[in-house]
Amino acid sequence: MVKYLLKVKAELENIESFRMPQSWQLTVQQSAGDERKGPIFVSTDEEHEISGSRGTANFVLKWPGTKNQSYMNIVQDKAVKHCIS
């Protein structure tokens, strides 16, 4: 499984708290082609079943002409302390 880390840098002067959004608006592209879909919305509040699996995902898409589904989950990884650029 591939994980992408979103790095956020902000000046938080006079900011009491900061939270990452629970919903993301993205444009996705088929890895084996040029077809794009978007904007799509991925939310931690939604779970969809993955066909042929017992698992679920926050976003599931079946591209035309393919037999497998593409899916993604939003994961909040509290173990990440810093990022190497």
In the structure encoding, which two tokens stand for residue 49, read together? 């079943």
pLDDT digits (tens, 9 = 90+) for 1-11: 677 777 777 88
What is the per-residue pLDDT for 79?
66
**pLDDT, tens digit, for every residue of 48-69?**
999 988 999 999 999 998 888 8
For residues 44 and 29, what is the distance between their CA atoms, to the nearest angstrom? Answer: 21
Which pairs count as long-range contacts for 1-5, CB under 8 Å and 24+ apart, including other chains?
3/75, 3/77, 5/77, 5/80, 5/83
pLDDT of 10 reads 80
pLDDT tens per residue across span 14-37: 988 877 778 889 899 988 888 999
Instruction: Name the pTM for this structure.
Output: 0.71
